[in-house]
Each structure stands twice: as structure tokens, then as C-alpha cells.
Structure 1
Amino acid sequence: MKTQQGHRYCSGIYARLFVGTSCRQPSPLRITRLAPRSSRRTFAANSLIKWSLSAFYWPHAALGFKLRVITFPFAGMSALSVLIREVLISLAFHTEISLTHFCSRGCDSGVVIRRGASAHAGRSLLDSFRLQGLVSTLKECVHDDDFRELKRIRTMHANSFLRLYTLLFLRRVSMPSQTPAGALVRLYAEDEAPWNWPAWQELTNVHHGLFPPDDENLPEGWTRQNANDVLSYFNAYMRFDREEDRVQFAEERMGNSQYPGRDFFKKWVKDKWKKWGIHNIIVEALQEAGIHPATILRGSPGIPWPCANDYVASVLDSLGLTLFGDEAFPSGGAVLFGEPRTVVKILVQHSWSAICGQVYTSRRSASKHEETARHAWNSLEVGPVTKELVRSAITAIARWKRAALLTSTMDVINEAEDMLEELQGVMRELGRSKALANGLHQLASREDVSDLLEIYNAYFDETNEEDAIVVPVALSTAKSLDDMEGDFGMELEQDLDAAQLGSRLGLLQNRVSLFNQYRHRSGVTPWENQGEFSFPGEDLPSHLDHLKLHWHQLAGVHSIFRSLFSKESNPAHPPGILIADSVGLGKTAQAITFIAQLIALTHCQKENIRLPPIIEELPYLRDMKTVPRHPHLILCPGTLIAQWVSELKTLFIYRTVDIFVYDGQSSGKDFWSPTGPLYSSNHDPENRIIVASHSAVFNDFRKTHQPLKTISKYGSQPWTIPDAKNAKSLNNTIFDQSFLTVVVDEAHQMRNPGAKHVATLRLLEQSVIRLIMTATPLLTGPRDIACMGRLVGIHHFYLPQSIEEEKEDRSTLNKFKRNNDEEGLAAERLKIIIRHQDHCIGHFLRRTTSSIDFNHKPLIDIPPYREIIILVRLTGRELEIIGLRAEAAKADLLSMDDARIHTKTFYLEYRITVTFARREGDTGPLPVFKTLEEWYPEKSTKMDACGRITAHYLLDDRVPDVICEDGEIMFPDVPQEFKDHPLQTRRIIIYSEFPSMTPLLQNVLSLYGVESLAISGKNSLRERDDCVKHLYDDSHPARVLIFSSVGSAGLNLAIADVVILFDQPWSSQDEYQIIGRAHRQPQRKEVKVIYLHAMDSADPLIWQMARGKSAMFDAFVNKQNGEGELNHVSSDIQ
């Protein structure tokens, strides 16, 4: 060493250091290499080996620090020991780092810390900083205790002749920083995984591997040259023997021209990562396990950042199953081993680090959000209160609240919540509708209950000779698929007409005792406006239709009763049925009709009235001859609550039942308490119906029960329900109630073993009857059938035998996959599906739109609709603004742990920006455009396309369809004959997700000469009815109706034959409901369904998500399992 004044400066030190597994008691240090960087002379290592790692302990000392910014001077080797000690204590679990000290002369000496010399740590080079600005930097970034300690160290060495300024900020990221691309390369070395695994193929949409022989099967965006470059890079990676060298090679900085495939693969994975949704899957797993960093921070406010290694092991096995499928478990065991486990851990680490960055961003912006929120709040006090001002205040305060959840005390959070609650009240006072009001004032009065008894008496006192004739029916003795023909669940009903079915159900003239006689075309119900259903004379007004059940709905209700009731007492009889009818066959009406008949049955039993013939034949509900008297619960996604409530009010006579909504917005303790609305009802328990949201139940389950133990594969029993947190945690909650019927709508959302599945099982334990409803019960494989079978209550799927069968099935399927035996694989899968079918027989109801009735006629006798997909290319201005708003949405997504962030409301601002791009902060009223010239510079591409398409289809009913090529809409020429003699009877309905955008959309339509009507939740029932009447009125100039999901439930718009989905709904259920406004009886035209999607936005992705996967389900419900079907399964099931 040499110094300016005869002393020697350290010209360079290279040391590789290892740290053990404990964050509190660091393991002894091992030095693997130590030599001067430039002079290559031996350095005295003994003094370093003697370091006492226990001499220092940071308040932050825990697994998972990322090295950044702390500067302090030190004297000689003792001070260097201080520095290295702190580095070591700051390291992550099993992390290797490199420290390279570069020293020059004088006070400009510095340290560069190089991380990532091992397989677990990246090679990111962190900057060195000078002493200037240290104090402010530390105050901004370091915990107070650490800052004080660093000042003490600095003071202690202030007079040192050697000053080495090192910026070392301890930022807890907990994990090594190997990238997802690097992780996928290391897994590829394991037999080309995971690109040949079906689960990963489904997630990434790469179904033929990375290097297929045919160019047309290459991954999207790849050329053959790209594939060759990437393969060359992979081969070079695998030529390294040491893991450390492989990682160093994979994580090399981009720009090395020797291996262009490395840069291409890194960029490709990075660009596709969001589209693949891997991060969202990981975040959801962390949430379900209760270990999302934000959850931990709120539970332990004293720690600056939770150490991931303390938590993530509990989700690795289940995530391995979700991401990689059974193929990652070749032994058929329950635990993820080897490289797949390492790779899953790296991917989790990547997401954990991303969340960390966003949380710190949120923390830094918290004060700004608070200032903005308070300014918006104060602005309401100085001038007239308008909706725009209130909306701006709500947005600002909501952002403050989100940031406060991570940074502030409960007092601050409560203050923000109080502000939001008060503002929502102001919005209601300003005219905002309360679509789901469910206060005590809506409950039936004692007079209403008396009226109900009169309805019963009048109904059951009627005599009708024809109705009294009961057709005896031989009950089915089918034991397996081979014994049955036709649709599942219709073995007996397929030979009965509507009159026979109604008679066996105890219906008089096929009329349900508690149901209304008429249905309003605009969706108005007697609960809102009884005057609309009163009319003089016998002629039915044009706005009313007779309310009657279709044959297939009567047959479905009969099948449900036949499945649940039995001849003999049998406590083990399965308590439920899986209703898997195709979308559009009226599962909702069937479930409500069944509930209504249960209510009528309890009345008959109580009053000793003759029971329906089917109950006389099958008198036992398991081991009970008398139906228990409890309320009914309907569990559905929050987006479907309004639809369920509307259908309940459409069918049930006014106040013959009390309807409650439990969506988690109000306190559960208040709702379920003895003094709450449910127990304030004057009705008998069976005349009370609660509609609850999935999220409310799942959140309540997390609050009231112990964390769910990891369910990896089926290593632990997936039906095991954790204990309540304490003896009182269930009091006055939904899990402290008893229900006669629990209807689970969209049950496929609970198909995976985990928290949602177990929470639903826990709730179903409180029910007597289970109606499990979904149009897609099988999405990913035979395992889904087992999960749905448990929801139904089929005993076999609760047996250890079923777990052993699953393990054997996985092992068998893996053999076929390893041998590339596609035909054998398809045959084995079909065999497994058929075995599951046999367990479900008698408790499975499935019809499709192609099914036939007892007369061999289609169940739905209307022409099929035709889909037209329009992909428009956004302008540069729109893409720029959307990109900025997407980043803001991403920040919220990463930093929040509330499960509700994954619903469509989370992306509200982003999706509205796709509709009409406005920069953040532009919260004023929407502009009004008077001419197309004013519109073009600021236009929304989607709105403009919607206006042009609408105008085209209104020219004449016979115009050719529009087409789209490479983002451009092509309008076919309209024949002169159509122009000379136009036929203009067409009506068009446009679905818009966001009512706030409707005025602008109407403005744009008017620029293209199109008059329009609009319906949203803000319209009164009278206004909504008037709009529908105007649409049907040939003399009215408007032939276009814009509507949103709120306020549109129950609308019959069959006069329209063009449906434009201006915004893409999130689920296939929502989508069909929108299309079903026009594609319904008495439609006689071909309905055109036009999807309007923006390229490079979330629209196409959401559309794909809504579609889901159906090939396996088609196999499951197909009874003709011959050779032809085997070929179908072989080609479709991957």
C-alpha cells in the first residue's frame, strides 16, 4: 500500500462473503477469495476472519436488505471491519455479495458495492455517493434509530487520516434480485421446462415451446432468427458448470453483441410479464395466505419492511401448482422440489421487491395526497357544492386513504373514511340513486305479512280438476353414464310436458304462489311502481308481458327437488346439486323458483295443507320430514348483486319476502346482530332472503378464522377448515347463522383449493340445502370437478381415497406426457373425467342452448347471434396518457393488499382513460364539441369509431357489415338502392361501462347525425321506462339506446338487432347479460354483437379472460364418449 505521505492506500480489495440463515444470529463468515484488485498481492486475511459479527446489530437487522446509501469515514482496518459487519448483517438469506473497494487519493475515495455474485443475487451495480448531502439523504431514507447510530459512527471516526465515503442505505427487499428471465433460463435447463408444461402454456399462450420446427408456431413476435439467437444463448448458459457462473452470465448487462438472444429473451419476458399475469397470481397468493407485505405492515407497524424469507415459504408449493401444474411435481408428491421451487421463489422475490418499491413510493407521496385531499375538502366549504367538486374530493380523499393505510395511524385513516362517508351522503343528496338501499324502511310490515297469508289461502283454496290430476312417474334407476341418454339431470323430466311438471311441483296452472303475474318490459317491478302493473279492462298493455316459466325452468326445478329429496331417511344423502346450465337458460329464475317452492312447502307443512306430489313421493330431506325454517342466502359476485335483487323483485310479489343485501359496506356485526335488519323482519325466517357478495364473505372469513395452512397439491386435506380465532370471533357474523338454502353463484371462482374454497365450504356447513351454480365448472382440469363436488357435498370428494386417486391420476398423466403420447394422454384424461361423472350423477344438472325439450324442439327458439370484433389503433396522444395512468394504477396495485383491488373498480381510472384520454389532474367537466373539426384533435378513437359504426348501421337495415384490418375500420359501400329506398327500422343498443362518459358519447354520436337515449343508475324508474318506450316508438327520432350495467337489469330490448359493447365487461356472465338484452324472446332477427376494442390496451385481455376455457368441460358434460369424442378431446384438451 502507498499513501501520499509515506503511508499506503489500499489499492483494491476483492472479497466474497457468505452469511448464514439466521437474521438475528449471523453465522460465521467464510472467505473464498481475497486478493488486491490491481497489484494481486496477498492481503492479511486473518484480521478479517477474526471479525466479531455479533458486535453490531442494526435495529433493521433482518433477512433481506438491499444495499444503498450510508456514508461514514473510518480509520484503518478496524473501521473497515465496522463497514463489512454492517454489510453482512444487512444481507439476505443465503445471499452472496461482492465488495469491490476502489480507493483514490484524498477525500474523494469511495466504495462501490457489487451485488449478485451468486445464483440468488443479481449483478446490479449500486452507485457510490460522496459525503455531501448525507444528512438529508439519511433523514429521508433511514429509520431514526439507524440514523442516530450512523451519526455516532461518523463522529467516532471523524479524525481518521483515511476517509472512505460509502453510501449504504439499508432498504429491505428481502430477496436476491435475479430476474424472471434469468430464472426461466435456469428452469429450461431442466428438460426444457416450463415451456412444455400445459399450465404454463395456458398462462403464457405459448403452446408449442420456444423452438418449434414450424415458424407459424413460434411465440408471438418471434422470428426464426430470434429463436436461433435465444437457443444459442440457452446453450451457452448450459455450458457453464458452476451455478454461480451461470447466473452471472444470465444476468449480464444488456448490450453484449456476442449473444443477442440474451437481450432479446430478457426484453421479451419483461414485455410479456404483465400480460401473462404472473405478478397478479403471486399477489393473490400472498393475499390469500395473509402475508402480503401491506397486510404485515398494518399488523406490525413498528417494522419498516417485512422480510420475505420469513413468510413466503408458505406459498411456494401452491404457487408452483398454479404456475406450473402437475408437471412440476413429477413424483406426485405434495412439495415442490429442486429447480422449480427455486424458480418460484425467485419469481415471488421479484414481486415482493416490486411491491416494496411501490409501497415506498406511496409513503413518500402520502403527505402530498393528504394536502390535496384537505384542499379539496376545504373547497367544498367556500362555494356552491356541485357534483364535480364532490367527485374530485372523493377521488383525492380516496387516494389519501390508500396511502394512509400504509403510513398513518388509525386516527388519520378514520378521518379519511369519515370524510368519504360524508361525501357519499352529499352525492346522494345531489341526486345520486341508491340502487341497493336495504334499510329497515324496506322491510315488510305486519300488514304485508297478513297479506301474504291471504295470498297463500287464496292460492291453495283454488280448485281445478285438471290441476288435481297427478301423473305418476317412475323414478330413475340409472347408475352410470351408460344407462342415461340426453342431458344431465333430465333423465326423468325429458318425457314430461309443462303441465305434468307443474302438477308434480304442486303449481296451480303452472303459477308459483308467491310470484307476480306480469313482467315489465323496461325492468320496472311492483316493488318500485305498482301503478305500472294496474290497468283497466282485460287488454294487456304493450309494456307488460305475462310472467311464466319456460319448460326447461320447470324441468330444472323438478330435477332439483328430485336430487335433494329421497324416499327414505338418509343423513348421508348429498345436500346439494351442481346447476351448470349454459348461460342464458335462466339459472337465476330456477334458483328463485326453487326457493319460492320451499317457502310454500314450509307453509303447507305448518298449515297441514296437502304437499306437492313430488314431496309425497320423496318426503325426506336427508333425515328430515319437515323442512327447517331458516333464511335463504344467495352468494354472488358483487357485480351481480343488483341483478339478483332485480330478479327477486321481478318474480316475488311485493313484500311477500324481505330482501337484504350484505356486501361488506356496512358493519357485519351490525347486520347480523339480534338488533340488526335481518332479525327486525316481521316475516318468518324462511321468507327472508339475503344477497351477499363473494368478497364480503371472504373478508369476513379472514377476519374470523385462523390463517389457512398451505394447501400444496393435495398434501393436506383441501376441505380442512381452520379454527375460529377465538371463542367470540364468530359472534354476530355470517358464520354464526343458519340457512335453509345457500345459493353459490359463479361457483367456479371457488374451484381452486385455498382460502376462497375453504371459506365457501365453511359457509355451506351452515346450510340445509346447497345450490351450486356456474356455467363453467371445469376450467383447468379434472381437479376442478373434485372441488365442485365438495361444494355440492358429495361424500366421495371428502375421502382420503379421492386424494390418493388425484395423486395416481397425476402420476399416470405425467407418464404419458413424458413419452409424448398425446393419444394415450387424451384417453386417460377422458377416463378420469368419466370416473368423476359417475360420482356426480344425481346431483348434476346441465342443459345447453342446443338442448331440446319434451317435444324435441330447441329450448331457446331464436336465431344465434353473430360476433364482430373491431380492434382500433389508438393515437400517440392517447397511448402516452394511457401509459402514464397505467403506471399510476400499477403503483396502487402493487402496494395494496385488499382483495378488492383485483376487481374492475380497481382499474377504473385506467379504463376510463382508454375511453377518453384526459391527463391526470384534469377533473373538470367533460368538454362539449360542436363540430367534427373541434372533435378530431382531442378525439377518443373508440368513441369516434363507435359514432361512425352506429351511423353506418342506421343507414339501412340491410347494409353490409363493417370489417377491421390492422386497426383500421373498413366501411363497405352501400348500394344505391338502399339509399334511394331506405329501410330504417333497426334499433341499436350500446353498452358503456362508465355512465360518466355517456354525455360525451352522446355528443360524439350527434356529430355523426345520430340521436340517442341513455339509461343509467341515475335515472328514475319513470325515466328509464320512458326511454324504453321511446326506443320502441317508431315515431321517435332516437333509434339508439346507451345503457350501463347499473340500472339495466331486467330490460327487454329485443327490438334491437345490433349490440355494441363499447366497453368490455369483466366476466362472460356480465357479457351475456348485456347481449341478452336484445338476444332474447321474441327476437326473430340475427343479432349482431360488435366488440369495440382498443389495441395496446386492456380491452383484448379482458375479453380473453371473460371467455375462459371450455374444452374439458365439454368433455365432462358429453355423454357420447365414443371414439369420435376421444378425437375431439385429443385435439382440444391440452
Structure 2
Amino acid sequence: MDSPITAAGIRRYFKTLDEHMKKLKLYGDEESINTLAAMRDEFLTMLNAAGIDKHGKGTTAIPKNLAAALKQLAGSQQIESIQAEVEAMLAQLDAQPDLEEMPRVDFEATPRVDWKEGVEHLKDLTLNDLWRKLGLPTDALVFFQERTDPTATIDPWTPEGIEWLQTNPLAEALMPRWHQLVSILFLVDCMLKGNPVLLMDEVGVGKTMQAIGLIAIRAFFYDHFASKGKFPGIFGSSDAKGNLKDAPSVIVCPPTMLDQFTAEIHRYLRPGTFDLLPYVSTYETRPQWWQKIWLKSAQRPRRRILLASHTALVSDAGVAFETEKYGPTPPKAKNWDSKKNTTIYGQEWGVCILDEAHCARKYNSSYNATRGLREASLMTVALTATPIMTKPAVRLKLTNALRGIMRGQKKSESEAAQEYMDVVMKWMTVMRDRFTGYVVRRTVMSTDNTGKPISGLEPFTEHNIILNLYQWELDNLDVEASELAEEHGGAVLYGAGKVSSRASLDALAHILQYHLAEDGRQPLKADAEGRGVEPDPAYDTQPVTDLPDKIVVYSAFPASNEIICDIFKLFGIQYLELNGKTPMNRRQGIIKQFQAADRDGPRVLILSGVGSDTLWSALEDDQLKGRVWRQPQRKKVRVYRLIADKTPDVFLNNISFDKGAMHEAFVGSTVHLSEFSTSVIALVQPLTVY
């Protein structure tokens, strides 16, 4: 009698099969490997059809986020209502003056090499000009919410959230800013041409709204062409060979950003206008996903959005493409024809949005996954605020650099570093030339058509507090430096010595106590001895509002958080902690608790290892500041930098400057870099945190 199939038996089968394939690979027996691979795939397909994965576990349970998304799919009545609304908008356009006679923007006019933001040719357009050139029926993005919650604490796609936006006086008008509309106009032109775009706007400028705005406008442009035989606005006179394809859109982001992207899509798009489905985990956990889940949406393809995690994309790529074979175009797997429709690559996508696109900058599995998705997409927008990456070994070997700092740098190393930078700057100019017409890059310091900063925020202030270490700390640091330089080349010097500075921790605790005691206080400066802090008379106090001041503390080294937490407890400071090890299902809860905290609650958030590196780069420094100094910020932001004098901070600053210089050379801007690298940042800010 045959033995029943058990979970343990399934696991043993796959383990044995994989071991045999590894052995056959050593002997180069491709024919046998392919035969076993086909057997493996066939058996896995049978299991998946039965709702079982390769570990023998059931796969029928629907993840919580997917179950929530399925509940929010638009019903037939809601879809018909939205379509009637679109037809009404199209009829309204018939009653407006013909916009085709407006001068068409010369999108090819960007001078080669001389560009800085990529959209200089649109600089003189007013907000009204931009709306008219897009040809939209009202001064609002189609399918977008009219109002928004400035604290980002409600979900606008829930019945409670919908009612809140309609009735609560705290709800604010949701409108794109001038620079966002400029970018959307540029993106629409690129979409109609099929050109990809590298959107490198700094954190806080609002890349997400621009990307979602493009998806919404694409759906409306399809409806407009289907009704009138042309696109709206200045694009009505384009040499269009036909309508856009009725294709869905896909957004790819890191797993840690899925909740935030979901919240942003809900914040911008009205419920019912688009269906949003999450695509997460690995290929083997999604049996028949495209038949059982994707087809549950009754929306037309152009009004569907797939929100995929980077992990899910790479997992699908491992099935669709040859693994460990990289190149400009990823090679298709031998069973491509039979497997592609079970992956994300079996769909044709209208717009593909790739968040944190710099993760695919090298030939590896991430590159294969993203490049393959671009090949399956009619238009791709790559989002990144850090195109120049930040690994310290890029400039000089970390070991040699640290040894040079602690024991005196040889002239030859200095000359080599300068020669390296000279070559980098030369090639940055070449890269800029080749990227002309495909890049948009604005910072929070960029200005609009009236000369005002596009951030719309009051400038933040930076306060560098240079502290003198206690003598015993300097002695210990010197001993550690000598030992590490001998044993490990100094590679862990900074992590071992710098973050445990007693002087820095004391100063941090006093800064927090000072600002938590009262709202809007003067910022602090180092006292005469360099071991304490005192009010800085060069700055005024700020008006007190209904929202209490809050503080984000950035800890570059998560290993030091335990010490920081102990200090906070000692001083009676309530805090929350969010780091790279915080489970995904807890992150949103921590952020919401921080947002909702009143003056008696935890108004300090320790942030480390969440979407940012250890600040080897001025670009990551800018990113970190941009996470709080951004819309809808309402208060003055103070940025504190605690710098321990006579430590390797100078070394980190040099690396930061070089990376920043490379980036500024690429975007052609004036170098405006921070004076010091950051060990700990404290930001006094209001309720909303990103």
C-alpha cells in the first residue's frame, strides 16, 4: 500500500532533488539537470494547484494586507458611477475653448550638458498655464481626492475616512504644487513618446504624488482619445499614431515601503477610481495568483494598480530568467513560454514605477528583475533620491583611509584620491550629457516660476554642537584605535569608539529634556567647556501651536540604541523605537502612536536602519532631513548635530563630501554640503512623520 504524502515527505523530496541537481552541475550534465528541473516544476505546479507550497504548508490563507485590498475593490455600481463622471468631464471639455492652438512646449529644448533640474524649459509657465496645457477639465488632477488629512492618520478608503474628509473642518484641500505639476507635464510627454524618466527629486519634494498623478492622467488620456480621437491639451496636436493601450500600472518598492505606498495611494486617489492589489512574498507562495486574485478586479485594466514588493519581483525573475547570468538584457529561462504568465512578466504594463531604483545599479538579480519589468512596460519611471551610492570603499579602501587618519596619511594616498576624483568628475560630465532629456532633479531649495522655494516651508536651522570628550574617553579611543588598526585595519573603529561617547549621550538627553519641557523654545548651543548645552541667543523662540513639539533622534548605529534607551529611561524621557529589525506589522502602529501622542505621551522617536544608511554620504544626510522637513510640516524644524571633537568624524565628513560632490557634478548644481557627518540628529517637528 502506498504511503500517504506528508509535509515532511514533500520537504525531503525537494531537498533530495536539489542536492542531485547541485552534484550534476559539478559534472556539467545539463541534460539531466533540465530533466530534473522539469520534474521539479511539474510537481510544484501540482502542489500549488492543491494549495500547498514546497515546504508542505498550505497556501490558501490570504495575507492580511491582501484581504484588506480585496475588500476595497470597486463594485460594478461604483465603476459605472466613475465612468459616468469621466463622460461628464469629457462633455465639459467640449464647452471649453479649443486648447490645440496653444503653443506646444518644446520638450526637446533642454540644452545638452547645461541642465540642472531637467525641466528648465518649463520654468516660465504659470500654474494656470500648466493646467491648460494638460487639458484637464478643472484645476485638479483627475481621479484625485479633493481634500486630505494633514496628519495622515486616517485611511481615506475606509467608510470612516471618507466621512472624515467630507465633514471634518481639519481636512485641507489637496492640490499639487507648481513643481509637481511641471514634472507631471514632462512625464506625460515622455509617456506619449515611450521615453523612460529618472525622477531624482530630493526627499520632501513629493515624487510619489507625481508618479501617481501620471498613472491617473494616463487613464484619463485613454478615455479622452477613445471619445474624441485625440489627447487633451497641447497633446491633441501630437503625432499620435493611435490611443494608448488599455494596460494596468505597476509600482515596485522595498517591502518596508509597502504600507507607506498604500497609504499614499489612498491619500491621493479617490476610492473606486482604481483598484489596488498588493503583490508580495515569493513566487512559490502565490499559486494561481493571476487567476484567483488579479482577475477579481472588475476595473478596466487602465484603472488597476499592482503594488509589488522588490522581494516578489526578484522572486518572479528567478523563475522567468536565467539565474546568475547578467547583462544589459536578462536572458530568458528555458521554460519562459510556460512560466511567464505565472509571473509579473506575463502582463504588459502601461506605466512602471520603480522606487529606490538605485538598488538595481549593478548586474545582479535586482538588475535582472527590474530590467525585465521595464521590457514588459510601455513607460518606466525610476524614482531615486540617491543616484550616487555611498559605500565608503568606493573612494579608498576603508582600512587604509582609517589607518591614514590615525597614523598619518602618506602623500601617495592623497594623490591617488585626488586622481580618482578627477576621473570621476570627468565621467560625470559625460553621463550628464547622455542623460539629457531623461532626468528630473529638484531639491527643497529649488524655486518655482515666481522665485519662491518649492518646499513652501520655512527654512530649517542647523545647529552643530561640537563636544569635547572626557579625557578617559580619548584615552580609551586611542587604545582601541591602535589595537584595531593592528588586528583589523581599523574597519570597525567608528562603531566601537564613537557612538558610546558619554559627552554626546549627556548632551542628547539634555537637548530632549529642554525641548520637551516647553514648545517653541530657542535652540541650544555648546557651552564654553564643550561638554554641556545652553540656549543660543542668536535665535528667537517660535509661536506655540495646538500640536506639541516632537523629536526624531537618528542613531546611525542600531547597536548603540540600548545605551540610548537606558539614558532616556534614566532621564524619564518617554520614547518609541523604530529600526530595521522592527516587524513590518508593528511599524505602522509605532508611527501612528508617535503621531497621536499628546504632550503627556511619547514624543520622541528613535529612528535607525529604516530606509537609510549610516550617513556615509551627504545625500543620505539630505534624505534624513527631508523625512521631517517636508509637506505638510507646520513648525520650524531644528536639526542638531552632535559632533565629538578629535574623533574620526573628519574622515566620515571627507567621504560624505566626495559622494556629495559626485552627485552635484552629475546634476550640475552648486555644492552645498553639510560641514560635518552626523552621529545623532534630533529634529523638533509636528505630528506628521514620514
| TM-score band, normalised by shorter chain | 0.5 to 0.7
Equivalent residue for 1:614, pick from 230, 234, 251 = 234
2:333 aligned partner:
724
2:444 and 2:454 in contact (8 A); partners too? yes
Q: CA RMSD in A?
A: 5.5
Separation (CA, whole Å) in 2 of partners of 1:1080 and 1:1027: 17
1:444 and 1:658 in contact (8 A); partners too? yes
Q: Is 1:1115 matched up with 2:660?
A: no
Equivalent residue for 1:551, pick from 165, 178, 191 = 178
Equivalent residue for 1:769, pick from 370, 374, 379 = 379
2:368 aligned partner:
758
Matches within 5 A, 1:419-498: 434=64, 437-462=67-92, 472-476=102-106, 481=111, 487-491=117-121, 493-498=122-127
| TM, length-normalised to structure 1 | 0.43
Matches within 5 A, 1:32-181: none
1:667 shift after superposition: 4.4
Q: Which amino acid aligns with 1:597?
A: I
1:525 aligned partner:
155
1:81 aligned partner:
none
Unmatched 5+ stretches in structure 2 = 1-13, 29-51, 395-411, 477-494, 614-618, 674-690
Matches within 5 A, 1:789-804: none
Equivalent residue for 1:589, pick from 205, 209, 224 = 209
Q: Is 1:634 matched up with 2:266?
A: no
SS of 1:768 mapped into structure 2? coil
Q: Deviations over 1:527-571 (max 9, x none)?
A: 132121122xxxx71x211100000000001111223335xxxxx
Report how many residues are paired.
Answer: 569
Separation (CA, whole Å) in 1 of partners of 2:642 and 2:439: 37
SS of 2:446 mapped into structure 1? coil
Q: Is 1:1041 matched up with 2:603?
A: yes
Q: Deviations over 1:1042-1089 (max 9, x none)?
A: 56xxxxxxxxxxxxxxxxx45353426998777556423465754123
Separation (CA, whole Å) in 1 of partners of 2:249 and 2:445: 32
1:732 shift after superposition: 1.1
1:1001 shift after superposition: 9.7
2:255 and 2:311 in contact (8 A); partners too? yes
| TM, length-normalised to structure 2 | 0.67
Judged with a 3 Å threshold, the aligned counterparts in structure 2 of structure 1 residues 1105 and 652 are, in CA distance, closer, same or farther, namely farther
Separation (CA, whole Å) in 1 of partners of 2:210 and 2:136: 14
1:588 shift after superposition: 0.9
SS of 2:340 mapped into structure 1? coil
1:699 shift after superposition: 2.2
Separation (CA, whole Å) in 1 of partners of 2:24 and 2:627: 51
Separation (CA, whole Å) in 2 of partners of 1:1020 and 1:1065: 10
2:358 and 2:387 in contact (8 A); partners too? yes
Judged with a 3 Å threshold, the aligned counterparts in structure 2 of structure 1 residues 944 and 534 are, in CA distance, closer, same or farther, namely farther
Judged with a 3 Å threshold, the aligned counterparts in structure 2 of structure 1 residues 764 and 413 are, in CA distance, closer, same or farther, namely closer
1:651 shift after superposition: 0.6
Q: Which amino acid aligns with 1:722?
A: P
Judged with a 3 Å threshold, the aligned counterparts in structure 2 of structure 1 residues 476 and 969 are, in CA distance, closer, same or farther, namely same
Separation (CA, whole Å) in 1 of partners of 2:65 and 2:233: 40
1:741 aligned partner:
351
1:958 aligned partner:
521
1:873 and 1:941 in contact (8 A); partners too? yes
Separation (CA, whole Å) in 1 of partners of 2:74 and 2:652: 41
Separation (CA, whole Å) in 1 of partners of 2:183 and 2:330: 32
1:1114 shift after superposition: 1.3
Q: Which amino acid aligns with 1:1109?
A: K
Equivalent residue for 1:1080, pick from 623, 630, 643 = 630
Separation (CA, whole Å) in 1 of partners of 2:175 and 2:272: 20
Separation (CA, whole Å) in 1 of partners of 2:17 and 2:553: 42
1:414 aligned partner:
55
2:53 and 2:285 in contact (8 A); partners too? no
SS of 1:862 mapped into structure 2? coil
1:749 shift after superposition: 1.1
Q: Which amino acid aligns with 2:130?
A: L
1:949 and 1:962 in contact (8 A); partners too? no
2:312 aligned partner:
696
Separation (CA, whole Å) in 1 of partners of 2:609 and 2:506: 17
Judged with a 3 Å threshold, the aligned counterparts in structure 2 of structure 1 residues 309 and 611 are, in CA distance, closer, same or farther, namely closer
1:695 shift after superposition: 2.0
1:465 shift after superposition: 7.8
Unmatched 5+ stretches in structure 1 = 1-295, 312-410, 429-433, 567-573, 712-717, 785-816, 880-910, 918-939, 1032-1036, 1044-1060, 1129-1134
Equivalent residue for 1:578, pick from 195, 198, 201 = 198
Q: Is 1:835 matched up with 2:430?
A: yes
Judged with a 3 Å threshold, the aligned counterparts in structure 2 of structure 1 residues 454 and 953 are, in CA distance, closer, same or farther, namely same
Judged with a 3 Å threshold, the aligned counterparts in structure 2 of structure 1 residues 449 and 835 are, in CA distance, closer, same or farther, namely same
Separation (CA, whole Å) in 2 of partners of 1:652 and 1:412: 36
2:577 and 2:607 in contact (8 A); partners too? no
Q: Which amino acid aligns with 1:657?
A: F
2:612 aligned partner:
1067
1:646 aligned partner:
263
SS of 1:972 mapped into structure 2? strand
Separation (CA, whole Å) in 2 of partners of 1:1105 and 1:702: 36
Q: Deviations over 1:923-970 (max 9, x none)?
A: xxxxxxxxxxxxxxxxx999998654321223454355265999x963
Judged with a 3 Å threshold, the aligned counterparts in structure 2 of structure 1 residues 471 and 688 are, in CA distance, closer, same or farther, namely same
Q: Percent identity?
A: 23
1:494 and 1:853 in contact (8 A); partners too? yes
1:681 aligned partner:
297
1:309 shift after superposition: 10
Separation (CA, whole Å) in 2 of partners of 1:512 and 1:945: 47
1:819 shift after superposition: 14
1:681 shift after superposition: 0.5
2:360 and 2:370 in contact (8 A); partners too? yes
Judged with a 3 Å threshold, the aligned counterparts in structure 2 of structure 1 residues 548 and 827 are, in CA distance, closer, same or farther, namely same
Judged with a 3 Å threshold, the aligned counterparts in structure 2 of structure 1 residues 441 and 298 are, in CA distance, closer, same or farther, namely farther
Separation (CA, whole Å) in 2 of partners of 1:1117 and 1:1105: 19
1:942 and 1:1062 in contact (8 A); partners too? no
Judged with a 3 Å threshold, the aligned counterparts in structure 2 of structure 1 residues 729 and 1114 are, in CA distance, closer, same or farther, namely same
1:506 and 1:613 in contact (8 A); partners too? yes
Separation (CA, whole Å) in 2 of partners of 1:1090 and 1:307: 59
Higher relative contact order (CA 8 A, sep 6+): 2
Q: Which amino acid aligns with 1:651?
A: Y
2:136 and 2:233 in contact (8 A); partners too? no
Separation (CA, whole Å) in 1 of partners of 2:447 and 2:542: 39
1:468 shift after superposition: 6.3
Judged with a 3 Å threshold, the aligned counterparts in structure 2 of structure 1 residues 441 and 944 are, in CA distance, closer, same or farther, namely farther
Separation (CA, whole Å) in 2 of partners of 1:634 and 1:1039: 36
Greater C-alpha radius of gyration: 1
1:301 aligned partner:
19
2:166 aligned partner:
534
2:4 aligned partner:
none
Q: Which amino acid aligns with 1:561?
A: V
Separation (CA, whole Å) in 1 of partners of 2:526 and 2:25: 51
2:275 and 2:299 in contact (8 A); partners too? yes
1:857 shift after superposition: 2.0
1:673 shift after superposition: 2.7
1:487 shift after superposition: 2.7
1:617 shift after superposition: 2.7
Q: Is 1:855 matched up with 2:465?
A: no
Matches within 5 A, 1:899-938: none
1:704 shift after superposition: 3.3
Judged with a 3 Å threshold, the aligned counterparts in structure 2 of structure 1 residues 298 and 575 are, in CA distance, closer, same or farther, namely farther
1:1014 and 1:1041 in contact (8 A); partners too? no
Judged with a 3 Å threshold, the aligned counterparts in structure 2 of structure 1 residues 964 and 532 are, in CA distance, closer, same or farther, namely farther
1:686 shift after superposition: 0.9
Judged with a 3 Å threshold, the aligned counterparts in structure 2 of structure 1 residues 604 and 526 are, in CA distance, closer, same or farther, namely same
Q: Deviations over 1:832-871 (max 9, x none)?
A: 4333333322222222222221112221233443456899
Q: Which amino acid aligns with 1:730?
A: K
SS of 1:670 mapped into structure 2? coil
